[in-house]
Amino acid sequence: MSLIDVDGGSGLQGKHHAGTNPNFGTETDAGRPVPPAANPQDSDETGDGEGVLSLLEKAGSLVLPIGIALYALLHLGIEQVYGQFNVTPEQVGVDQSILFGRLVGSIILLILAGALLLGPVVAIGWLIHKASFGHAARLVRAVRRRPWAAGALGAVWCGATYWGFIGFLGLAESVSAVSIVLVATAIGVLAFLVPFRLLRSRPLGRAGMKVVVGAFTGIGLGFALIGSMESSARELAESGRPSILLPFVGFQDQWVVASQREKGTVLRDGRPLLLLGESNGVYALYDCAQQETFRISMEATVLSQLQFTPETEDFDCRNPQTAPQATQETTPETTPEATTS
């Protein structure tokens, strides 16, 4: 029996047809072609891993540029906060080392808050993937393979981050959602669409695009945070009402009563003063009632009744009756008189 009768054809011919014809796979002993193996990317199991694990990997690559941008803008935000009291951080003893420690703590708190949001987002993505039987993941991969579509999404997102800067300039008040979408789309198309399209053509460019998107995301969040910090500092300077945000970004809301060391007389009629800090042997104090910041020697001043964030809900530094320090100071003087009378 010849080799052709056993194998159903020449071995060389079988290899030739299998190599040139994409419809042929490997051959069995009977000479029947086996269908080619399925692409791993089309399987639901691989799509599931790519839909969740790949999302976590991509999110990790965005954390670093977002954190760097947030740190830089938080530094600017602290300067804006102290600027509401007409001083700089350096004038109240907040140097770069102290500021770095405070801002690192703020970024850690932001990461913890972001982790709480990341879990539900991943869970929702996983549920959408399961509910669509993998079609959602295939749609995402199809969009990513099209440079213009991926570039357009990144461009619109970066354009939307400019609203943080616009809000910081005070130009976003009473603006409708339609205007926000139109302005974000216009900025994204004009500034980012074509560069992102060119970056998507190469793997190194795609990695660079992720860094740019992450950096602009951090910048947008940072400017939005600066706007909130500045408004909280303005409220603190005008009324002395405590803010939840300022302590988390490293600003110490501490009120004191100052008096002269030699004479023992209280300063500013015993009103509570905001202690901004100390530097070069002097205190930096803020008198909310007079809307004035002044500096006084540490050697000639005694601070008493120190308190962080007044606990009274109706506290107003312009009204001494609502200040717990003033109440504690006048009580010892008035109680004996009331008793004798």
Q: Does 209 lie in the same domain as 63?
A: yes
What are the backbone angles phi and psi of residue 32, rounded to the nearest 5°? -85, 135
- State the pLDDT confidence band at 65, using cuts at 50, 70 and 90: confident
For residues 68 and 175, state if they share a domain.
yes
What does the alpha-carbon distance between residue 164 and residue 259 come to, in Å, rounded to a whole number?
A: 43
Alpha-helix runs per DSSP H in the chain = 3-7, 11-20, 44-83, 96-131, 135-144, 147-168, 177-191, 193-199, 203-239, 245-248, 324-340
Residue 82 pLDDT grade (very low, low, confident, very high; cuts 50, 70, 90): very high
Token pair listed for 4: 């052709």
Domain stop point among 184, 217, 239: 239
Nearest-angstrom CA–CA distance, 31 and 9: 8
pLDDT tens figures, 48-64: 445 556 656 666 667 77
For residue 284, give Cα distances in angstroms to 55, 77, 90, 232, 301: 49, 20, 11, 20, 12
Percent of the chain with pLDDT over 90: 8
Give the containing element (helix H, strand E) for 308.
strand 301-308
Position 246 in a domain? no
Angstrom distances, CA of residue 65 to CA of 55, 68, 96, 167, 306: 17, 5, 21, 22, 40
pLDDT of 320 above 60: no
Q: Distance (Å, rounded) from C-alpha 247 to C-alpha 329?
A: 27
pLDDT score of 40 more than 60: no
- Give yes or no: residues 22 and 64 share one domain: no
Query: If you write DSSP's letter for every residue of 208-264 in order, what string do you get?
Result: HHHHHHHHHHHHHHHHHHHHHHHHHHHHHHHH----SHHHHTT---EEEEEEETTT-
Q: Quick check: 292 and 237 in contact, CB under 8 A?
A: no
For residue 110, the model assigns a pLDDT of 77
- 93 with 225, same domain? yes
Dihedral over Cα of 147, 153, 155, 157: its sign: negative
Is the same domain home to 26 and 59?
A: no
Are 259 and 265 within 8 A, CB to CB? yes
Of 1-10, 109-118, 230-239, 289-298, minimum mean pLDDT range: 1-10
Mean pLDDT of 103-125: 81
Q: Does residue 340 fall inside a structural domain?
A: no
314 band by pLDDT with thresholds 50, 70 and 90: low
Helix (H) or strand (E) holding 284: strand 282-287
**CA atoms of 295 and 28, how far apart (whole Å):** 92
Q: How far is CA 315 from the centre of its chain?
A: 31
Lowest mean pLDDT among 93-97, 110-114, 254-258: 110-114
Question: 60 and 116: one domain?
Answer: yes
Residues 191 and 324 in one domain: no
The reply to whether 222 and 261 lie within a common domain is no
Of 239, 274, 307, the residue at which a domain comes to its end is 239
Question: Lowest-confidence range among 42-51, 129-138, 307-316?
Answer: 42-51
For residue 329, give both structure tokens: 């100071």
31 within some domain: yes
Residues forming a β-bridge with 274: 255, 286
CATH code of the domain covering residue 278: 2.30.30
Q: Does 244 fall in a domain?
A: no
How many domains does the chain fold into? 3
Whole-prediction pTM: 0.66
Q: Check whether residue 265 and residue 179 sit in a common domain.
A: no
What's the chain's average pLDDT? 75
By the 8 A CB rule, do 258 and 314 touch? no
Output the 3-class SS for 251-271: CCCEEEEEEECCCCCECHHHC
Cα distance between residue 159 and residue 286, in whole Å: 40
* pLDDT of 321: 57
Residue at a domain's end among 180, 215, 239: 239
Residues 130 and 7 in one domain: no
pLDDT at 16 over 50: no
Q: Are residues 153 and 76 in the same domain?
A: yes
| Residue 260 placed within a domain | yes
Is 295 inside any structural domain? yes
What domain range includes position 206?
Answer: 44-239
Over range 101-112, report the average pLDDT.
79
- Residue 275 domain-assigned (yes or no): yes
* Both tokens assigned to 107: 């970024």
On whether residue 339 sits in a domain, the answer given is no
- Which of the pair, 4 or 341, is modelled with greater confidence? 4
Question: Which pLDDT score is estimated for 312?
Answer: 55
**pLDDT tens figures, 224-269:** 888 888 888 998 888 888 778 888 888 888 889 999 888 888 888 8
Is 27 in the same domain as 49? no
Higher-pLDDT residue of 5, 300? 300
Using the predicted structure, report yes or no on whether residue 285 has a pLDDT greater than 90.
yes
Task: Give 191's contacts (C-beta < 8 A, 6+ positions apart).
Answer: 155, 158, 159
